């Protein structure tokens, strides 16, 4: 069996099945929805960071822009929700295009510039002068499209598409070439790879994923403020989850979200002080002993982790 098909059947399909069944047996649907959102965002970070090495500290910028893209489509154009989610993806891509010059930077400089860009988008959207378009800092209420069940299904579909793309990256010469660019851009060019084009494609797909996630999030919650959808928690969580599991794999970010977001929900609300202690210790242990993530426990032994 080709490994692409194997990965789809053994990883993506069971995960989809789980998210199809769980709402019937588990009552906290908001929590399930948030799991789906973080799985999407962690894989989005995986696409740009794991495969190209750019750490998107302002990843939430695309998410928030997507959420407001959805809101504007619904408020001003009375678009049906699924169409507005697609538009949110387009908004993510457009913002990604606008920010492509950032790819000239590398390392921490890219991360900081990306963070600044996300803040700029937040303050642009939250500007009271734009109240007639974005409702400024006063938040939006989209009662007309409120439908958590459909929004959840939409989120699961977006997760499936995102995972499908990551599976493609893991099993294609395209994904291998991206990793080659990450390892050494000059050598990659000498292997005939168009370095700039590859980086831009990965960047825009990553932006598309976050834009779609933002759109479907807006659909689900329907009432939100700029500070909610541009919260840096989204960037930080998505990055930490992806790194914790191990990037440039399919499984790593999934494992990272299930473990860390699971812990967060088990003890994050009830005993926040222990949660912060445990989180801090976990992340420090990770950086010290497993900088390549949990999957490196297996890859160190020579096992291939999909």
Query: Which residues contact another protein (rule: CB under 8 A)?
Result: 173, 176-177, 179-180, 183-184, 186-195, 248
Nearer to another protein, 51 or 220 (CB): 51
CB of 168 to another protein, least distance (A): 14
CB of 34 to another protein, least distance (A): 32
Nearer to another protein, 112 or 176 (CB): 176
Helix runs in the chain, H state only: 3-7, 13-25, 29-45, 51-52, 60-77, 81-98, 107-125, 131-134, 148-171, 173-183, 185-190, 195-221, 226-229, 232-245, 251-256, 262-267, 272-289, 296-299
Cα–Cα distance for residue pair 147/149, rounded to 1 Å: 6
For 224, the enclosing helix (H) or strand (E) is strand 223-224
Nearer to another protein, 160 or 292 (CB): 292
CB of 104 to another protein, least distance (A): 15
CB of 108 to another protein, least distance (A): 20
Q: CB burial class (10 A; 0-12, 13-18, 19+) of residue 280? A: exposed
Sign of CA dihedral 34, 35, 36, 39: positive
CB of 200 to another protein, least distance (A): 14
Nearer to another protein, 135 or 170 (CB): 170
Nearer to another protein, 179 or 232 (CB): 179
CB of 120 to another protein, least distance (A): 31
Among residues 97, 79, 69, 73, the alpha carbon closest in space to that of 215 is found at 69
Bridge partner list, 140: 224
HSE-up of residue 9 (Cα within 13 Å, Cβ side):
6
Nearer to another protein, 151 or 193 (CB): 193
Nearer to another protein, 259 or 292 (CB): 292
8 Å CB contact between 56 and 111: yes
Cα–Cα distance for residue pair 285/82, rounded to 1 Å: 42
CB of 252 to another protein, least distance (A): 14
């Amino acid at each position: 069996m080709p490994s692409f098909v194997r990965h789809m059947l053994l990883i993506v399909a069971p995960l989809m099945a789980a998210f199809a069944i769980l709402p019937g047996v588990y009552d906290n649907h908001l929590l399930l929805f948030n799991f789906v959102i973080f799985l999407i965002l962690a894989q989005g970070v995986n696409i740009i960071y794991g495969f190209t090495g750019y750490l998107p500290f302002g990843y939430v910028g695309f998410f928030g822009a997507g959420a407001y893209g959805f809101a504007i489509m619904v408020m001003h154009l009375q678009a049906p929700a699924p169409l507005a989610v697609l538009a949110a993806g387009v908004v993510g891509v457009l913002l990604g295009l606008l920010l492509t010059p950032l790819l000239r930077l590398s390392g921490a400089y890219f991360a900081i510039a990306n963070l600044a860009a996300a803040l700029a988008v937040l303050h642009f959207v939250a500007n009271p002068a734009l109240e007639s378009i974005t409702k400024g800092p006063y938040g939006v209420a989209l009662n007309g499209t409120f439908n958590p069940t459909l929004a959840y299904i939409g989120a699961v579909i977006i997760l499936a598409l995102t995972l499908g793309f990551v599976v493609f990256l893991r099993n294609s010469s395209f994904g291998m070439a991206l990793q080659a660019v990450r390892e050494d851009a000059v050598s990659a060019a000498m292997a005939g790879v168009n370095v700039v084009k590859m980086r831009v494609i990965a960047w825009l797909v990553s932006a598309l994923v976050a834009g779609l996630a933002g759109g479907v999030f807006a659909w689900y919650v329907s009432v939100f403020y700029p500070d909610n959808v541009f919260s840096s928690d989204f960037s930080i969580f998505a990055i930490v989850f992806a790194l914790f599991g191990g990037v440039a794999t399919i499984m790593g970010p999934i494992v990272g979200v299930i473990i860390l977001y699971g812990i967060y929900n088990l003890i994050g609300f009830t005993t926040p002080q222990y949660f912060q202690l445990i989180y801090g210790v976990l992340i420090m242990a990770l950086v010290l002993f497993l900088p390549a993530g949990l999957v490196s426990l297996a890859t160190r032994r020579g096992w291939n982790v999909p």
